[in-house]
A and B are shown apart, each in its own frame.
Chain A
Amino acid sequence: MKLWYSFTKELKLASKSFYFYIEVVFAIIILVIVLFVIPENFNSRSTEYLYLDMPEAAESVLLETFLKEDTDGQAESIEVKIKKEMIPTTYYETGDRKIYVVESEEYLVKLVDEKKQIGAVIKIDDTGETSYKYYLQGYETDKLKNLYRVLHNEDMRTLEATINAQDVRPISTEYKVMNDREHTLPSLLTFNGSLMGMFILAAYIFLDKEQGVIKAYAVTTSPVWQYLMSKALVVTLTSIITTAVITIPIMGGRPNYPLMLLLLITTGFFASSVGLLISGVFKSMQKSFSAIFFAMIAMMIPAIAYFIPSWEPFWIKLFPTYYIIQGFSEVIVKGGDIAFVLWSSLGFLVAGMLLFMWATHQHKKALTA
């Protein structure tokens, strides 16, 4: 009962400060950016520079194949500026490639060097023998270089036919793959809700420390843990509201909302406990700032793994945000891994409780000091 009273009192206080409204306004800004700035599909195309060193007839055949793949079926004459020189190119844009065909190997070298992209000379000699010369930057891995070496050893039509003949068997066809816009949501929700929750809760307590409010708890019947819990609940509730503002218009009815709520509450509680602990260990916001800043930067590292799925070292799983980001990605699509979200939530709840107890101990110690 006392906890409920403390919580409603904190909620009233929060609603009178700008904090709550800033959170909602930023959630709306995030929503607008995601909806209107981030496209559903990024359409990222790789850039390639080519020089075709071959008889005119063979060149025409090759250019014809580029033209067939071109999105508007037309080649464009484009001059690319390199320092003070304008290099003439013929430009083709396919679904996944931007191809610039140049008139000499010298031009190709200049472009690859300046634009830091890949280039290739395709040569057909008098005997009809085809050879390839790739211009790379130097930082490419040996595995990628091996692929370039082997890729053109086979006739492209034979290779394509063999690729198409491969038997691919998915374990499940229930997965709904997210588009690029939806794919950005889990990391945004993690940052907006959980990470900022940690930061804001620490600021919340420092504010009370500064105003001496927390000292009053030494002479009241209300225990310190209830005071800390009421703060954590306010931040968690704000995080639930802002997450709803962002998620509902973008994802509609597709997410598993009860599971999302569970994840939000447990991760919000965990992040709040970290914030409480920081505010218990440090004397002021200024002194804790570096610790908070670093914790936030470090906690964003799993976002890199999220956007580059093939990079996922084992140690990335030691970061709690790995489970928050992955958890959100499971709850916002159909067919997500429910067990993963439940286990993660349990982990955050237990870790949050332990940290909360530690933070309460720190604050009690400070009150009696």
Chain B
Amino acid sequence: MLKKIWAVYLRDIKVNTREAITIYLILAPVLLALVVNALSPSINDTTVKIAMVEGENPAQVEYLENFARVSLYKDIEAITERVERRDNYVGIVPEGDGYYILTQGNESERVVDFVKALQSLYVLDASIEDSSAEIVDFGREIPPLKKMLVNISIIMSSVLGGMIIAINIVEEKGDNTISAVNVTPISRMGFILGKSMMGLMMPIYGSIAIILITGFGYINLGQMLLIVLSATLLSLLIGFVEGLANDDMMTAAASFKMIFLPIAGVIAVAEAVSEKWQWTVWWMPYYWTYRGNDAVLSETATWPQILLYTAIILALCGVVYLFLAPKIKTGLAKS
């Protein structure tokens, strides 16, 4: 049986290589990782942007450049025009002996407070050179935002696996090849499992490629793979059911939201919502995947913790399977 499944997988690779699909799939995680590498330094270097009048007070400009991005404009009118644009520029405008802070009116309170604090430090003549503060760091170079983007990319590569399976199955159904399998030595289930191998390999290869290219090669790969594999199981299950339940590509495409939506929700809750609300997404396996990946990428993960997360993901997958098993059976019988 395994040999036959393997033969279907090899045939898939051969066909896909001819169509250049395999090359696309191999390139997918590499490109994702390169995008993460390209984006993360600039995202980490975010600070407030201040607009000031050119030549009006060079010392003030020099001082504020220590903390913020300062752009110079020829007059107050030009500053007003700049502040009015869509992004978050705040003006520091001279008036009489002093200055006022010019905002558009829709900036977040934090941005305005930050500019107020910087201008106050300048007014009070607080100098960096006179500082009594000492700074010690742990020499870490990878910012949390890059870690988050890598985490999302790893989850996306496992989702990609599920989507490939669904598309493969729907296309085979369209070509009526699943019915034709009846006259071959392989069973329908065996054929579908063979068609799913590509979707299983993709997340494993994808996660490793992303981790290595983005500079996370030092993490515990064993822990990471355990989490990735358990998440992939869920993506495969969903892809499998979507492929069998949907007769055409259009309804399958619409149902892909079923995968994207919980992931987006989980990331939003895990990253932005306070601890007391985290329980609202405990029932989603991708939440534990995200938490697990985060712990491994932060190097704070312990084996008991990862085993616990894996067990939770597998248990939730089991519940999903029990719920979807009748659909799989019906889908297989109808194909």
- Residues on A close to B: CB < 8 A? 17-19, 22-23, 26, 29-30, 33, 36-39, 42-45, 83, 112-116, 129-141, 143-154, 158-159, 162-163, 165-175, 177, 180, 184, 188, 191-192, 196, 199-200, 202-204, 206-207, 210, 284-287, 289-291, 293-294, 297-298, 301, 304, 308-313, 326, 337, 340
Contact = CB atoms under 8 A, between A and B. Distances in A.
Interface of B: 19, 21, 24-25, 27-28, 31-32, 35, 39, 42-49, 66-68, 80, 83-84, 86-88, 98-108, 111-113, 116-117, 119-121, 123-124, 126-128, 130-144, 156, 160, 163-164, 167-168, 170-171, 174, 246, 248-258, 260-261, 264-265, 268-269, 272-274, 277, 280-281, 298, 300, 302
Contacts of B106: 172, 175, 177
Contact of A171 (B31, B98, B104): B104
List 6 A-B pairs, minimum CB-CB distance, nearest first.
A290-B24, A170-B105, A203-B253, A162-B120, A149-B131, A175-B106
B94 to A, nearest CB: 12
Contacts of A202: 253
Most buried by B among A22, A45, A158: A22
Contacts of A149: 128, 131, 133, 135
A3 B249 CA distance: 24
B251 A17 contact: yes
B251 A146 contact: no
A159 B113 CA distance: 12
Contacts of A129: 132
Given A137-B138, A147-B67, A168-B101, A22 B251 contact: yes
Contact of A310 (B49, B133, B264, B273): B49
Nearest to B102: A169
A113 to B, nearest CB: 6
Contacts of A180: 272
Contacts of B107: 309
Contacts of A298: 35
A237 to B, nearest CB: 14
Given A137-B137, A138-B140, A152-B131, 14 more contacts: A17-B251, A22-B257, A26-B261, A115-B300, A131-B132, A148-B135, A149-B135, A171-B83, A172-B106, A175-B106, A286-B167, A304-B43, A310-B46, A326-B86
A116 B49 CA distance: 27
Contact of A308 (B43, B84, B136): B43
A309 to B, nearest CB: 5
B124 A42 contact: no
Given A139-B142, A191-B264, A286-B21, A134 B135 contact: yes
Given A131-B133, A199-B253, A37 B124 contact: no
A159 B124 contact: yes
Nearest to B90: A168
B138 A133 contact: no
Contact of B103 (A135, A170, A184, A311): A170
Contact of A172 (B104, B112, B246): B104
B261 A30 contact: yes
Contacts of A175: 104-106
Contacts of A30: 261
Contact of A166 (B84, B116, B130, B255): B116
Contacts of A17: 248, 250-251
A291 B25 CA distance: 10
13 contacts: A17-B251, A26-B257, A38-B269, A133-B134, A144-B47, A152-B133, A170-B104, A171-B105, A202-B253, A207-B249, A286-B171, A290-B25, A309-B87
Given A39-B277, A289-B164, A312-B87, A153 B251 contact: no
B244 to A, nearest CB: 14
A297 B156 contact: yes
A184 B268 contact: yes
Nearest to B271: A44
Contacts of B156: 297
A141 B44 contact: yes
A3 to B, nearest CB: 21
Nearest to A310: B46
Most buried by A among B42, B99, B249: B249
A19 B83 contact: no
Contact of A138 (B28, B35, B80, B139): B139
Contacts of B35: 297-298, 301
A15 to B, nearest CB: 13
B105 A134 contact: no
Contacts of A29: 261
A133 B131 CA distance: 11
Contacts of A177: 106, 108
A163 B250 contact: no
Contacts of A199: 253, 256
A126 B46 CA distance: 40
Given A149-B135, A285-B167, A289-B163, A137 B103 contact: no
B116 to A, nearest CB: 4
Contact of A33 (B127, B265, B277): B265
